[in-house]
Amino acid sequence: MEDNKAMVIFQPSGRRGEVPKGVTLIEASRLLGVDIESLCGEKKVCGKCIVRIEEGHFEKYNVVSNMKNVSEWQEEEDKYINEEAKAKGFRLGCVTTVQGDLLIFVPEESRAGKQVVSKAARDIHIDHDPAVKMYYVEVVPPTFEEPTGDFERICRELEKLYGLKDLKLDIHTLRQLPMALRDGDWKVTLSVWMDQEIIRVRPGKVEHAYGIAIDVGTTTVAGYFCDLTTMEVINTITLMNPQCKYGEDVMARITFHMTTEDGLKRMSDDIIEGLNWLVDQAIQGTYPPKKKKKDENGKVVKDEDGQPVMVEAPEEGKTYLRLSREDIEDITLGGNTAMHHILLNLNPEFVGLAPFPPVIHHSLDIKARDLGIHINPSSYVFVLPNEAGFVGADNVGVLIAEAPYKSDEIQLIIDIGTNGELVLGNKDKLISSSCATGPALEGAQLAFGMRAAPGAIERIKIDPETHDVDYKVIGRDAWLKYSEPKEMKAKGICGSGILDVLAELYAAGIITKSGAFSQELKSDRFRRNPDTNQPEFVLAWAEETSIEKDVVITQRDVRQIQLAKGALYAGCKLMMRRMNMDKMDKVKIAGAFGTHVDREKALIMGLFPDCEIEKILSVGNAAGDGCRAALLNRKKRDEANWVSRNVEYVELTVEGDFQKEFMGAMQIPHMTDEFPHLEGIVREEILKQ
């Protein structure tokens, strides 16, 4: 690298590249296509562009990042960054300059562009029987004749009215009790967990309690914020798993633990920090939005620092819940075995070593405070049980949401995330397995991969003759063809666009069956990257983007997608062979990817073995749905423990011909004889739809 340049990586987007030394972090972010919030236009007065410099040697990127590689602390920063945050490496992006290689984490609140929820909750049926229920009691005050203590006084009433016996409570709840009873004039509402433990006491009559079901993916974390009384999903919050900076897949994270002192604790702390952020986001959504305060002349009112004063701007007729952290009284968590272990700070080493035993299968009830999660202090976090190998609590979530163990039909359930998890069978027998797909199908780790957010290319068509590209981005209805280039503001490619791109590249003859860029290709869109010498194809020209550089798909990107689909296809094939079947009655695709995927293109591109097209269903984030089912129905928790021990786990990598199947499955597309259901359809027609 030239001496006057430095390698800069932005997390969680993973965007990286060289920038000239001396540019500000904001300038660097713009050069690399990362949007950082900057309300004041870098006048150093809004304090929105706070980012964190990560310290460490990031082998994956061959980058050593530390505080010496940025300019010295500036006085302006004191105003926005306190001593504690400063110690953690936080800096103001508009005043800090790049002096060497850096890995920079952009906190969610500093990221520009409102996120489009990609893991929305589905409308699945759940019986209402939450683990946390509310009970209202009125008691008579103590007298000399009847001076019984506060706890026994309410317990007597809880037993009389509701039949609740032998209730416990922890010291935090006990501390609330005397004042709540007196503030409520001897009338209180008690939140009771599993009819076993009082976890909260509030004065008077209260009718609602809230909980969050959280699916901790390797790349994406999705939280469903629910009213435990009405079962309504109030909102959905997603974030990148903050552990992404330590490695993109589960094995990389396990390796980070094994090679780095305190590595496990760092990863655990990071995801816990992420969950706390998620909780805060859930709560913030229950307050009215804010707007700038204006005086009678319509002029913006400013505070002594020249900043606009913000006031609440409630929508007319809308009521706001205005909740606090303490109002979150239950959390359920799912994730693959590695995410499960790392989150809980459990040694994940042996999960990564044959025969891959987890530390625990059974579900766990852990006080949120023992994990450092800041909700109602006496509340529990329910952690779904693990199956085996990497097939963990997330797949158990999928299973209790889809309940194939109650079905006659033979179902193949594919949960596509960074780790692909497969379940095959019906009420007679279920087997499960996992395969390393990597995050490519989610759009991550591609040169211009990004989350499903405004500016993400989600649909694409390539003219086979001219190789002209037409596409559509999230946040804009009109395709490029009907737009001015500058209106597109493209930024990257999201998961749902990936298969489209691959199919179109192939149909247009730009890539061959083996996935290589065609040698004969003549197009100004096709070129070799001057830095890497990698072939790449331009999907959007710089002028169509908001990042002032061409959005491309590289040879490496194509390979990543091939690897992912090959692993999936081979896994399905081997499981079918294990069960002695050659067809399924139903294929269910779970995960964010499944929500957006064009099922015909998925079949044609060979993501999984043949199935009637109308029997291919997208079931959305079923892992998250399972977490939600466990949140709202405590019987689903028992069901989860039952199913986790009654699915037979198959370790695919030890099957003799896994490698052969895998290599074959990487080709695009598969031989038509593998897809009899497509016989009546002309492949090329589908590809050109």
The owner of tokens 């069978």 is 425
| CB contact at 8 A, 420 and 435 | yes
Residue 625: φ, ψ to 5°: -60, -40
Which of helix, strand or coil describes residue 432?
strand
Our CB check for a second copy shows the closer of 147 and 163 to be: 147
- Shortest Å, Cβ 170 to a second copy: 7
Q: Which of 479, 439, 398, 372 is nearest to 643 (CA)?
A: 398
Tokens of 62: 């061959």
151 sits in which H/E element: helix 150-162
Distances (CA, A) of 658 to 165, 391, 568, 576, 662: 55, 18, 11, 13, 6
Applying CB under 8 A, the residues found at the interface with a second copy are: 142-144, 147-153, 170-172, 174-175, 177-179, 182, 344-347, 349-350, 354-362, 364, 366, 370-371, 386, 388-389, 649, 651, 654
| Torsion on CA atoms 564, 566, 572, 574, rounded to nearest 10 | -130
Q: Kindly give the interhelix angle for 622-632 and 393-402, rounded to the nearest 10 degrees.
A: 80
Tokens of 615: 């029997």
| CA 526 to centroid of chain Cα atoms | 33
Cα–Cα distance, 668 to 660 (Å, whole number): 16
- Shortest Å, Cβ 401 to a second copy: 23
Cα–Cα distance, 331 to 224 (Å, whole number): 10
| CB contact at 8 A, 398 and 654 | no
Our CB check for a second copy shows the closer of 385 and 497 to be: 385
Residue 474: φ, ψ to 5°: -65, 140
Q: Which of 270, 406, 293, 426 is nearest to 342 (CA)?
A: 270
Each as own residue / partner, the long-range contacts of residues 262-269 (CB below 8 Å, 24 or more positions apart, any chain) are 264/342, 264/345, 264/347, 264/348, 265/345, 267/243, 267/342, 268/342, 268/343, 268/344, 268/345, 269/372
Our CB check for a second copy shows the closer of 206 and 364 to be: 364
Q: Pairing mode, if any, of strands 492-493 and 456-462?
A: parallel
Our CB check for a second copy shows the closer of 356 and 541 to be: 356
Q: Position 358: which residue type?
A: P
Our CB check for a second copy shows the closer of 153 and 601 to be: 153
Cα–Cα distance, 633 to 406 (Å, whole number): 17
| Beta carbons within 10 angstroms of residue 613's beta carbon | 16
Residues 201-213 as b or e (16 or more Cβ within 10 Å = b): bbbeebeebbbbb
Tokens of 284: 């913030």
Cα–Cα distance, 411 to 372 (Å, whole number): 39
- Shortest Å, Cβ 360 to a second copy: 4
- Shortest Å, Cβ 651 to a second copy: 7
Our CB check for a second copy shows the closer of 24 and 419 to be: 419
Cα–Cα distance, 623 to 386 (Å, whole number): 12
Q: Report whether the peptide linkage leading into residue 289 is cis, meaning its omega lies within 30 degrees of zero.
A: no
Our CB check for a second copy shows the closer of 332 and 621 to be: 332
| CB contact at 8 A, 186 and 215 | no
Strand partners of residue 366: 381
CA atoms in the 13 A half-sphere facing the CB of 406: 7
Residue 13: φ, ψ to 5°: -70, -25
Our CB check for a second copy shows the closer of 220 and 433 to be: 433
| CB contact at 8 A, 339 and 312 | no
Which of helix, strand or coil describes residue 627?
helix
Strand partners of residue 473: 457
Cα–Cα distance, 370 to 91 (Å, whole number): 30
Q: Position 261: which residue type?
A: E
Distances (CA, A) of 677 to 24, 305, 619, 672, 682: 56, 68, 21, 9, 11
Which of helix, strand or coil describes residue 302?
strand
